[in-house]
Structure 1
Amino acid sequence: MSLAVRARRVVLPDGVHPAAVHTRDGRITAVKPFDDAPSGAVTLADDEVLLPGLVDSHVHVNEPGRTEWEGFASATRAAVAGGVTTVVDMPLNSVPATTTVEALHGKRAAARGQVACDVAFWGGAVPGNLDQLRPLHEAGVVGFKCFLLDSGVPEFPPLDDAGLRAALTELAGVDGLLIAHAEDAEVIAAAPAPAGASYAAFLASRPPAAEESAIAGLVAAVRDTGARAHVVHLADADALPLLRRARADGVAITVETCPHYLTFAAEEIPEGATAFKCCPPIRETWHREALWVALADGDVDLVVSDHSPCTPDLKRLDVGDFGLAWGGIASLQVGLPVVWTGARARGIGLAEVARWMAAAPARLAGLPGKGTIAPGKDADLVAFAPDESWTVGALEHRHPVTPYTGRRVTGVVRRTWLRGQLADGTPRGRLLRRGQS
């Protein structure tokens, strides 16, 4: 099967150009001048841009075990509706967590035949599973997630410093990647407990120092072990100088942030609006703006959703209590328009957005066939209308609770192709292994 798509604006690795993208059997075979296309080529409208399919390397699908929270079918339908052609599933909050090879096989069995986009998998690093890290690595997980404090679910306990260093040492031997939820439990224990409808009180319960302390410990452990690590969902801009110095010194550490940290600000969150609760929390305006600057300067590497849905009752919208509500934001389908809305307001182009949301996550996850429009890559493509505005309403996620509801955003995904086929929600996605191209 062959497909050719041409557009006056195509986001390529070297910038935005008119081009015709030729594909066969699901792979890009050539990128040619706009006029060099067969008669049956799909020609995008003048208001559309052709983007590479996005790669979201931070998605909590929650199946098996908590499928009522999301599930592979609904999550991947939401993904392709939002221009995401590859998701990487987190090892929690499913039951069992992906901390053994047997659990990984269970994840793959649950996903098989359901996925509308391609799916890869993270493994988990928890106390007691050190002997599972190499087998999981060999079985194709893209890397290993750990928590440095309570994860919120009992089946995924945190690593202490000794456990962190043991995992990093084990992974250094196979050039494996450890990704960390970096907040310091002791700092949080010393802060006031969250309770009630006050967002300010919730914010005070997860102070910036918790991120900085945990990241400092992670940097030290990576430096000492020679391993590779990645900081997930950075919210605290005060941690950026620490990360910048570590990287300048050759420490192999990367960092991501998320659309909600780039969009919302603590000062704007209404009392009792528990749809906004996530950990680490959405911080004040200056943190948001500093994260945008860090992205532009290359100090933050990528933007991914941290799509972490739950059933509506767990968000405690009935009482608006930030102490009781589950912390997580559902955003998989809206990440591209949300980030693009913020980027264009700051004079940042689509090429940069595609780098942060497609190329960089693909590189992090070790998926060489994904993330850019270039010969040899999978024919994952998105027709995106960057000037069309819309109001976030009903989405493909299993549950409707998201802080983006009612928000006006700019940029519409009009069509998505997965490996050269129109992605319409049909379960034709593949289950990927690390290094698969």
Structure 2
Amino acid sequence: MTVDTVIAGGRLVTPTGVSEGSVAIDDGTIVAVGHEASLPEADRRIDAADRLVMPGVVDPHVHIDEVPENRAGTMPAETAAAALGGMTTFVDFAWQGRDRAGTDEDAGLLDGIAHKRAKEDESYVDYSLHGVLSRETEGTLDAIPEAVEEGVTSFKMFMSTYPVGVSNGFVDSAFERIAAEDAVATMHTEDPSVCEHLAERLKREGKGDPQYYPDSRPDYAEAMAADDVARMAREHGVKYYGIHTSCRQSAEVLSGFQGDGSRIRAETCTHYTALTREIHESRGNLPLIAPPLRTDDDVEAMFEYLRDGTLSVVSTDHSVYHREYKEEVENWWDSPFGANSAQYSLPVFHEVAVNQRGFSYPFLVRVMCTNPARTFGFPEKGTLEPGTDADVVVFDPDETWTIEETENASNATFSLYDGREVTGAVKQTFVRGQLVVDGGEIVAEPGTGRFVERDLPDWSE
């Protein structure tokens, strides 16, 4: 028997350990793991000596292809960036109204799902979708079971100042329906009334410099909203996943609810583990994200709560803008929120978690690969187990290099990590056995990726 590929002689990283070994891949699947001598001959041999061989990153929180005029992401560009960063699977968003602009009033959630599924032949990596519930109607709630039938098994709502924000009453009803399907609910949690009040006060005081922006969305506003949502989730028994946890106060809230047996999980994002609000002094409006960057203490809190499992996933919240949309405004409140990081998330988190704080490689794999796959119903992802998808990254943990935003594959024309030196680099990325990245270059064509219909995840583990 001859297989397609053997990745030979690397250090294999699983959620539970690191061992020397090789991986055999055939027809898109991992068929064997062991010493090279025990594996079949291969048409292609990848020498992984002195390198890590790990599952592809699974990112459950990206904004890839959204239409409003100040968003610049397209499926080919952003999935190329993802592959270069070792990301082999992501979960994007399907919008009522077909896209985030929501201008098509006749288009519902299922139309939004169809719109994004049709992008399959433009993607370098695999992807799925969260359904966004932004219209407070019975029709929105009635679409939930139909979306689940199409493999969209998680749903997002916004408790925020965004135009797509919904009321607590609607969230309560939606949680009841989502729980009935045994699907997953996710929420953007910032108390909108507090944030709107503080933003208006800053405007009256003429504090348009971006260094004041984080004061408009304080940590306690995030914690208040997290508490509201967690209480509703507990009452309905819904599987709830808190996104982009940014601060100690919010993580403390979620930790308290996890202790009572509620089905509550949560993530943080790479930027909340690597950056603080002081970056606004040098980068202006570019780091405007919501929730905002916080303090050094909040950064350390993210690691504390990742260590104890309160936070179980590190995502990117990748969003795409041209620099001018952020910078060519007079005040921070005229600048859009969001920043890209799909291409650099793995090396940056490797730097701050493993190199700087001594976290293990199995920890890295758990929070960036295995946990998100299990949380969102990807049984074939986030693992090197034989019989699963051959989504594999070969990573050089010793290569030191400097991130340069001019090297972005993304349509974003800036990076918050520009000029940052990191040690650790993606060398090869395989998506279901197909070599997409080799030596830091895209070597495949768009369409390598496919849309994945997800299972209802089992959270009993």
Tell me the TM-score normalised to structure 2 length: 0.88
Report the RMSD for the aligned CA atoms in angstroms. Answer: 2.1
Helix, strand or coil for the counterpart of 2:122? coil
Question: Deviation digits for residues 265-316 of structure 1, max 9, x if unmatched?
Answer: 123431561111100000010000111121122111100000011233221x
Q: Which amino acid aligns with 2:120?
A: R
Q: Which amino acid aligns with 1:409?
A: V
Q: Does 1:94 align with 2:100?
A: yes
Match of 2:125 in 1: 117
Q: Which amino acid aligns with 1:91?
A: A
1:89/1:222 Cα in 2 relative to 1: closer, same or farther (>3 Å)?
same
Structure 2 CA distance, aligned partners of 1:324 and 1:54?
A: 34
Q: Does 1:399 align with 2:399?
A: no
CA contact (8 A) 1:197 1:273 kept: no
Query: Which residues in structure 2 correspond to 1:336-375 (within 5 Å)?
Result: 336-343=346-353, 344-375=355-386
Structure 2 CA distance, aligned partners of 1:230 and 1:99?
A: 24
1:435/1:231 Cα in 2 relative to 1: closer, same or farther (>3 Å)?
same
Question: Deviation digits for residues 175-228 of structure 1, max 9, x if unmatched?
Answer: 011100001012213324455553442111111111111011011101111111
Structure 1 CA distance, aligned partners of 2:122 and 2:148?
A: 24
Match of 1:328 in 2: 338
Q: Which amino acid aligns with 1:220?
A: R
Percent identical: 31
Structure 2 CA distance, aligned partners of 1:51 and 1:414?
A: 12
Q: Which moved more, 1:261-270 or 1:220-229?
A: 261-270
1:348/1:320 Cα in 2 relative to 1: closer, same or farther (>3 Å)?
farther
Query: Which residues in structure 2 correspond to 1:151-166 (within 5 Å)?
Result: 151=162, 154=163, 157-166=164-173
Question: Deviation digits for residues 95-136 of structure 1, max 9, x if unmatched?
Answer: 449951122112212x13111001111111222211211111
Q: 2:265 aligns with which of 248, 254, 259?
A: 254
Query: Which residues in structure 2 correspond to 1:288-327 (within 5 Å)?
Result: 288-315=299-326, 317-319=327-329, 321-327=331-337
CA contact (8 A) 2:153 2:456 kept: no
Deviation at 1:237, TM superposition (A): 1.0
Question: Deviation digits for residues 227-265 of structure 1, max 9, x if unmatched?
Answer: 111110011111222211211101111110111110011
1:74/1:182 Cα in 2 relative to 1: closer, same or farther (>3 Å)?
same
Structure 2 CA distance, aligned partners of 1:162 and 1:288?
A: 33
Helix, strand or coil for the counterpart of 1:2? strand
State how many pairs are aligned. 431
| Structure 2 unmatched ranges of 5 or more | 437-442
1:266/1:95 Cα in 2 relative to 1: closer, same or farther (>3 Å)?
closer
Match of 2:439 in 1: none
Match of 1:175 in 2: 182
Q: Does 1:25 align with 2:35?
A: no
Helix, strand or coil for the counterpart of 1:122? strand
Q: Does 1:420 align with 2:440?
A: no
Structure 1 CA distance, aligned partners of 2:283 and 2:27?
A: 51
CA contact (8 A) 1:118 1:430 kept: yes
Question: Deviation digits for residues 353-372 of structure 1, max 9, x if unmatched?
Answer: 11111111111221111001
Tell me the TM-score normalised to structure 1 length: 0.93
Question: Deviation digits for residues 139-166 of structure 1, max 9, x if unmatched?
Answer: 1113101001232xx4xx2221110010
Query: Which residues in structure 2 correspond to 1:189-228 (within 5 Å)?
Result: 189-193=196-200, 194=202, 198-228=209-239
Deviation at 1:80, TM superposition (A): 0.7
| Structure 1 unmatched ranges of 5 or more | none
1:139/1:281 Cα in 2 relative to 1: closer, same or farther (>3 Å)?
same
1:99/1:78 Cα in 2 relative to 1: closer, same or farther (>3 Å)?
farther
Match of 1:84 in 2: 87
Q: 2:115 aligns with which of 98, 106, 120?
A: 106
CA contact (8 A) 1:119 1:430 kept: yes
Structure 2 CA distance, aligned partners of 1:177 and 1:198?
A: 38
